[in-house]
Structure 1
Amino acid sequence: MNEQDIPHETMNAQVSPASSQQGEPDGKKIDYWGYIVLSAGVGALIWGLVSAVGTGWGFWEYTSGLKGVAGAFLLGLGAILIGAVQGWRVRKAINPPPRARRWVGMVVALLYVGWVGTFLMAALTVPAIHDVSTDLADPPAFQTLALRTDNLDNIPGADDSDMRGLTPLQRWALVHQKAYGDIRSVRINEPVPTVIAKAERLAKARGWDVAISLPEEGHFEATDTTAFFQFKDDVVLRVRPSDTGEGSIVDMRSVSRVGISDLGMNAKRVRAFLADLTGTVTAAP
């Protein structure tokens, strides 16, 4: 029997499977994991931003906003982990699923996780206080803006054997001195009214809301508001003539209205403001 004797239908039956495999590929499988990683990554970013901005707009309490940011952070970590595991699983696949969705989701999640991670790192490197002053023995007092009633609650060291018997105010001063020993009263070779006027100009240039400015009395208060959460931190400056009558002694205090830890923001604010106010910061003797 030769090829001509083979029925035509039989030949078609033998050839059709091969031709189907070569010329007509099967339908593509849906990349479920890619969609999951993409949705989780983008969802984490949106969830975190909405939590922060919604807090600033007053839609919910700041504690709820922080929980939302934390939840989005965990979702972002999940997106990165799932994407990495899936990438390892299909690394040797003959027909691997498209990588674009998975990579976009992972990159977006990484950006958000990295942004939140900077705040977490700050929380680990600074003390859990929210009141920073150049004068620990006699901090500048607010006259117009109200100091929060729970200002000395939750000061670190209550269970520390080295601080046993200390009052919250004493613990605050000790923790403050250890973490921010460089923040001290500064001397400026200008009269008190001139220093206050300059401070007011600097505050307005920073977008702070000035509550009161008394150049002759050497007193100034303002409020700085953060971008996303719209957290408000109150600032007070006290400027007094130096003992010699030449120049002025400047003290500054920055206090967060909410929260236990300020993540180092008040110290950063005091350092930057005094540096601009003095040109070069010189500690008062």
Structure 2
Amino acid sequence: MTDQEAPQLAPEATSSPASTQPRAQRDILGYLVLIAGVGALVCGAVAAVGTGWGFWDYKSGLMGVAGAFLLGIVAILIGLVQELRVRKSNTPPLRARRWIGMLVALVYVGWVGTFLVKALTVPAIHDVSTDLADPPAFQTLQLRADNWDAVPGADDSNMRGLTPEQRWAMVHQKAYGDIRSVRVNEPVPMVIAKAERLAKARGWDVATSLPEEGRLEATETSAFFRFKDDVILRVRPSDTGEGSIVDMRSVSRVGQSDLGMNAKRVRSFLADLTGTVTAAQ
């Protein structure tokens, strides 16, 4: 056998086993990022929906959302580290699954992050009223038993000696000074009737509507956690007899901070009710 007839060693035979291994099999971190990213979104959704369905209490649900938030951050960090590492590789693994996992995780982390930012910018109260001196009192619905527990300011030297209600009024005034009683140029029964229509249009459960008494009480339920916030509208004739003075109060049934939702609800509802909101004198 001549040298020309001798079998030639194929170039592939000199390659290392790792280089011949399919890229998909070597992309373990890519699969990990994909699983973690999608898992964060799924776990967060299950935690929220499960709370709404009554499978566990809201505190456990919030812990589940927080845990999923951390899992999403881990997925993003691993994905970024892997991206930096594979850029130096001659045969980088496929990026699709890694980027999908990072994108899903980023969407979830960003969504939860907006609530975390909101929690840092609003006071830790859950009771909002247009009248701080004489908040509308629930009669059909019941004010939560722990409504005045854990009101901020107990350790504040500027609030020393104040009752929880007084501390609440100070914190409320500083954060939501724009929320005040409003005047409507309509008689009390017409205002309550309009308020009832608006409440039902928003999907609220109206507990009572008494035009002759100038009182409406209703409950709004959130979409995922099924949190319930109770609302009362108090409408009284103005001192001059022309038009009505409207006061509104919105209280969350659970939790210490409402993330600003009650204030948002009061502003929005009164804007729809009055058209142009004017502070009552």
1:209 is aligned to 2:205: yes
How many angstroms apart in 2 are the aligned matches of 1:243 and 1:215?
19
TM-score by length of 1: 0.95
Q: CA deviation at 1:144?
A: 0.4
Q: CA deviation at 1:165?
A: 1.1
1:6 is aligned to 2:13: no
TM-score by length of 2: 0.96
How many angstroms apart in 2 are the aligned matches of 1:145 and 1:28?
65
Q: Tell me which residue corresponds to 1:83.
A: 79
Q: Tell me which residue corresponds to 1:61.
A: 57
Q: Tell me which residue corresponds to 1:27.
A: 21
Q: CA deviation at 1:93?
A: 1.2
Cα distance change, pair 7–187 in 1 and its aligned pair in 2 (3 A):
closer
Provide structure 2 residue ranges, at least 5 long, that are not aligned to the other structure.
none
From 225, 228, 237, give the equivalent of 1:241.
Answer: 237
Aligned positions of 1:142-181 closer than 5 A: 142-181=138-177
Q: CA deviation at 1:6?
A: 2.8
Q: Tell me which residue corresponds to 1:18.
A: 11
How many angstroms apart in 1 are the aligned matches of 2:243 and 2:169?
27
What letter corresponds to residue 219 of structure 1 in structure 2? R
- Structure 1 stretches (4+) deviating beyond 3 angstroms? 19-22
Q: Secondary structure at the match of 2:20?
A: coil
From 125, 128, 133, give the equivalent of 2:129.
Answer: 133
Aligned positions of 1:112-131 closer than 5 A: 112-131=108-127
Q: Tell me which residue corresponds to 1:269.
A: 265
User: For the pair shown, which has the larger CA radius of gyration, 1 or 2?
Assistant: 1
Q: Secondary structure at the match of 2:90?
A: coil
Q: Tell me which residue corresponds to 1:280.
A: 276
Of all paired residues, the percent bearing the same amino acid is 76
What letter corresponds to residue 151 of structure 1 in structure 2? N
1:101 is aligned to 2:100: no
1:194 is aligned to 2:190: yes
Q: CA deviation at 1:19?
A: 5.2
Q: CA deviation at 1:164?
A: 1.1
Q: CA deviation at 1:20?
A: 4.0
Q: CA deviation at 1:230?
A: 0.3
What letter corresponds to residue 16 of structure 1 in structure 2? L
Q: Tell me which residue corresponds to 1:72.
A: 68
Aligned length: 277
